Amino acid sequence: MQNKALVWKLVDEHRAEFCDLSDRVWGMPEICYTEYRSVAEHTAMLKQQGFRVTENVAGIPTAVMGETGEGGPIIAILGEYDALPGLSQESGVARPSPLPGNGHGHGCGHNLLGSAAMLAATALKEWLAETGMPGRVRYYGCPAEEGGAAKSFMARAGAFDGVDVAITWHPSGHHEVAKALSLANTRMDFAFTGRSSHAAASPHLGRSALDGVELMNVGVQFLREHVPQDSRIHYAMLDSGGIAPNVVQAKATVRYAIRSRDVHAMFDLNERVKRVAQGAALMTDTKVDISIMSAVSNLLGNRPLEEAMQRNFEALGTVPFDEADLAFAAEIQSTLSPEEIASDYRKAGVKPTNPKPLSDFIIPLDTHGETMIGSTDVGDVSWVLPTVQAHVPTMALGTPGHSWQLTAQGKMPAAHKGLTHVAKIMAATAIDVLTDKMLLAQVKKAHFEQTSETPYHCPIPEEVSPPLQPRPETL
């Protein structure tokens, strides 16, 4: 416990610096592979704290890694800093109030995610120096979690090779060890090509790419009845072929997100969706080019790591929110429906007895809630090495992910308290691994048992490269 008291003290000493880092990144929201200013902030902070820095990790300009320590096990602390389009919002305002600018916003809290992860790594760096313990800590700054699968590309490139354990977290409404549940996910583009013509004078000469897209969408709609219940298929139109209805559309493109409970089921579903597209092309006498943009694996859990993190939750307790935090959270909850708030409890598997707008309880490890799950590129890391995640509250209970309400709370005092709290939990869990050889052996054994018969295979084909975006100054 003495080791943990020391690292918690070190977290507190650096708290202000990393809350400031989080706020700066909140103020420069950048989406999928455009996080040039955000990664520059993280890189500068790593250098300021004395890490050995590697830039352009896996050939990705917005990925960075900082390492400290010598010998011993290698612990990775994973951070993120990408934002989302369309979620710009004024801080501390409990009504929709977009800021001027590009419309992006940190509607998933990744400004907090990266800053807390680096705070934990920094405290561990100083703990290693003070205790003289062997061991290495790496902070990985990972871009493009929202749809870009950067960690999948990084895993494929070997960026995590040799690491013993990965620890990360995500902003939440609850205190819990995150359940190792996620859907494998492929993002795939279907570009139809036909032949343009005058829609009235010579429609028989045209071959409509838009018809191909629409027939594909209808076919996938019927397919949804005949897939496993935990599969998900979504789409977005990237190009509908133009704005002139009197021109037969020669080109049209639709993007699909195809999700399944594990990578093998996803691969099967991918092929079924491809066949629907090929059928639509055949019906419309068009051609379809199919390309994968990104893909992620499902999460693998690690019971010994999860138990170690749970013990640290219980030792540290809950985030010390105050009355001002509760008051603003109540304002946010007033913008939510009763169903949104109730759904948050159902997903966590708990029943509120004396509900407050901010969580004041820790969810037991084996609590099972309503199974509604998304996807994350942390899944690929969890196949390569043992991985554990924390959820710590930074927002009012019921706050939907990917919402303006979440953006509004991203630099409030409650969010800063959650950031600091989770840094302590991650750092303490890392210390358990660094100081307990038996725990590390159990962690590795559990991971081997899960992957020995089905070793990791990156779901992104070798020929697919990250969809990197140019620096803003080159546009």
Query: What's residue 77's pLDDT?
Result: 98
CATH topology of domain 1-182+299-453: Aminopeptidase (3.40.630)
Query: What's residue 171's pLDDT?
Result: 98
Give the residue among 268, 250, 161 at the shortest CA–CA distance from 205.
Answer: 250
Q: At what angle do helices 2-26 and 303-316 cross, to 10 degrees?
A: 90
Measured CA to CA, the distance from residue 73 to residue 349 in angstroms comes to 35
Measured CA to CA, the distance from residue 75 to residue 428 in angstroms comes to 12
Q: Tell me, what DSSP letter sits at residue 399? A: P
Burial class (CB in 10 A: 0-12, 13-18, 19+), 263: buried
Per-residue pLDDT of the chain (475 residues; tens, 9 = 90+): 778 999 999 999 999 999 999 999 999 999 999 999 999 999 999 999 999 999 999 999 999 999 999 999 999 999 999 999 999 999 999 999 999 999 999 999 999 999 999 999 999 999 999 999 999 999 999 999 999 999 999 999 999 999 999 999 999 999 999 999 999 999 999 999 999 999 999 999 999 999 999 999 999 999 999 999 989 999 999 999 999 999 999 999 999 999 999 999 999 999 999 999 999 999 999 999 999 999 999 999 999 999 999 999 999 999 999 999 999 999 999 999 999 999 888 888 888 777 899 999 999 999 987 766 889 999 999 999 999 999 999 999 999 999 999 999 999 999 999 999 999 999 999 999 999 999 999 999 999 999 999 999 999 999 999 999 888 765 4
Give the residue among 204, 208, 189 at the shortest CA–CA distance from 251.
Answer: 208
Span(s) in the chain for CATH 3.40.630.10: 1-182+299-453
What is the CATH number assigned to the segment(s) 184-296? 3.30.70.360
Span(s) in the chain for CATH 3.30.70.360: 184-296
Measured CA to CA, the distance from residue 152 to residue 113 in angstroms comes to 18
Q: Tell me, what DSSP letter sits at residue 297? A: P
Give Cα 451 distance to the centre of its chain. 22
Give the residue among 96, 109, 27 at the shortest CA–CA distance from 410.
Answer: 109
127: tokens are 């703990």
Cβ pair 68, 83 in contact under 8 A? no
> Residue 51: phi, psi to the nearest 5?
-80, 155
Cα dihedral 174→372→310→431 (10° resolution)? -100
Measured CA to CA, the distance from residue 85 to residue 211 in angstroms comes to 28
Residue 101, SS3 per DSSP: coil
